[in-house]
Amino acid sequence: MLVAAAVCPCPPLLVPEVAAGAAPELAAARAACADALGVLAAARPDRLVVVGPAARGGRGPHAEGTPGSFRGFGVDLAVRLGRPGADPAGRELPPSLAVGAWLLESAGWSAAPVTGLGVGEAFPADGCLDTGRLIAAQPGRTALLVMGDGSACRSLKAPGYLDERAEAFDAGAARALGTADVAAVAALDEKLAYELRASGRAPWQVLAGAAESAALDGTPLYEDAPYGVGYVVAAWS
């Protein structure tokens, strides 16, 4: 049973050591993420699943204790998913889950065991929904930390350049996530999301599948598009 969820963006720039001199620019987003994690802890879950976008090598489940790092971003900073351990497959966390692990470590998370799930950005909506249903069907009280960004096409300097459709897409996604509108999240256009480089679409739809019978309320905590990328933070409880 899903009892709570937090939706957070996943840029490595959330990590101050990675952002360096630009760290203050995402201070409000970090604070909102901390508030969302507080909602998860208050729900007293039996387990937490961190879901985020991943390239091929990082897809699938990640056991508690799986390590990750930000060395690929020029920073010798290591993180770990929950309590010490190792991924039986010998993999490291994909960047989105490494950011999630960093958020949890920063918050001093100890409320429940933590596992991870990397999903492909092009994973079909039906598959995402089914994955969420399977997560919610497992015994006990489950919470989700859902990592993912909106469109990367909000400005001329954005990673995907400017696309006039991006602002409306992000506004609709933020509204759906901020109000825990499960049907609206499930209905997000996967083709448009892919064209707009919105990495959060698949993880958000995993959340929608998990929340179908949960009757959770949403609280919007942050929405902005620094660097031309849509970021949203919300809590469901």
Which CATH number is 97's domain given?
3.40.830.10
Residue 234's H or E segment, with its range, is strand 231-236
Which range of residues forms the domain containing residue 192?
2-236
At residue 130 the predicted structure's pLDDT band, cuts being 50, 70 and 90, is very high
Helix (H) or strand (E) holding 69: strand 67-69
The whole-angstrom separation of Cα 15 and Cα 26 is 9
pLDDT at 158: 87
**Residue 89: predicted pLDDT:** 65
Q: What is the rounded distance in angstroms from the CA atom of residue 45 to the CA atom of residue 76?
A: 32
pLDDT digits (tens, 9 = 90+) for 150-166: 999 999 998 999 999 99
For residue range 165-184, what is the model confidence (pLDDT) as tens digits?
999 999 999 999 999 999 99
Give this prediction's pTM.
0.96
CA–CA dist 5, 233 (Å, integer):
11
Three-state DSSP class for 176? helix
Q: Is the pLDDT of residue 116 over 80?
A: yes
Mean pLDDT of the chain: 95
Number of domains in the chain: 1
How far is residue 93's CA from residue 145's CA, in Å, rounded to a whole number? 15
Q: In angstroms, how far is CA 79 from the centroid of its own chain?
A: 16
Q: Are strands 218-224 and 231-236 parallel, antiparallel or unpaired?
A: antiparallel
Structural tokens at position 187: 């209905």
DSSP letter at 89?
A: T
